[in-house]
Structure 1
């Protein structure tokens, strides 16, 4: 009997997902090698890894009851005192909405894709990260539901990483956290 490796199993999952997407007529693109992409569900629309404008992202946040604030009272992506969502991934926006639905907590975003954050592939600027204001509701949910990685970091079942950085949560969304189903342990 042939030996099955994790890589070949992932290939089978990715092929099955591609077939489902084609059959459903939805657009979906995953970033190769990003954690949790095999478990993300296909969605209709521009695709989970489509980049959104600030207006598109804020419309989705507003509809979900999610607020945002800016120390500079602005949304210019090139100004570090602003909070911008220009060029944020749809999966990141959907991940925040998924968390809101799972927790029932108020969420206030204080950081998006604006300049002034650390660089890297999975960075704010590249559309993968957002910052949340601290709240006991969110902190209790994250620390009580997700897996501790040590050093003030927790990982959701979908592979998204929540890092408590002093006065806020810095969250990296590798995927939408299930989009329709709430992120669970």
Structure 2
């Protein structure tokens, strides 16, 4: 006995829980999920809501399989800060809709869509499902830089945008509604870097992020 909680000891302490379970272990799970931004009621009932958050966390943490069963691997990722549910995880991870919405809202960023929806499968929605953590972080950094200037997202990962590696669908791009203060900030801070094939004026930040003026909005590619 060395007093160190290693893999062998850890596996014996873990209580595996899954959908349908109730009790203190489920409450502990809900507390940990909430620490990652899940927003669950801590009621000890492993229902559909908890199951959905577990699967989302498993996906963002790169766990396999994504089965909603909370065993040693999922517990370990939760307690070590792995994955990303709004508060943890690396910039290369992707976010669920609720994770990204929580992060962006907390930073004072708003979003809108013609359909007033967030379904990734509808082009009339503005979705953050599958948004890269780095893109969310980039939007938050932009908002901090522009201060009281409003920042409203009008396009995310929903279908209907152009394809490609550095695309909306792959979580690299966000569209921001036009405003005079945002445009003035971009022009005054970043470097004009030419014109895109479709005529959009390009401005590039020191970070490598690319801002394209598409007339009705700024199309931003977060490269880092």
TM-score, normalised via structure 1 length: 0.71
| Equivalent position SS for 2:193 | strand
Distance in 2, Cα, partners of 1:27 & 1:85? 20
CA distance in 2, matches of 1:102, 1:62: 16
Q: 2:190 matched to 1:141?
A: no
Question: Which position in structure 2 is the counterpart of 1:171?
Answer: 220
**Aligned counterpart for 1:107 among listed residues 141, 151, 158:** 151
Instruction: Give the distance between the partners of 1:27 and 1:143, measured in 2 at CA.
Output: 37
Cα displacement (A) at 1:26 = 8.2
Give structure 2 stretches of 5+ with no counterpart. 1-79, 196-200
Q: Identify which of 93, 113, 116 aligns with 1:73.
A: 116
3-state SS of 2:185 partner? helix
Aligned Cα root-mean-square deviation (Å): 1.6
The alignment partner of 1:88 has SS state of: coil
- In the TM superposition, residue 45 of structure 1 has moved relative to its aligned partner by 2.3
Say yes or no: does 1:59 pair with 2:108: no
In the comparison of the two structures, how many residue pairs are matched?
136
Moved over 2 A (4+): 25-28
Correspondence for 2:174: 130
Which residue is equivalent to 1:159?
208
**d(CA) in 1 for partners of 2:186 and 2:104?**
20
Q: 1:90 aligns with which of 127, 133, 152?
A: 133
Give TM-score, length-normalised by structure 2.
0.59
Which residues of structure 1 form unaligned runs of 5+?
A: 1-24, 29-43, 176-185
Match of 1:116 among 154, 160, 164: 160
The 1:27–1:160 alpha-carbon spacing in structure 2 relative to 1, beyond 3 Å, is farther
Query: Who wins on radius of gyration, i.e. which is larger?
Result: 2
Q: Which residue of 2 aligns with 1:5?
A: none
Greater strand content: 1
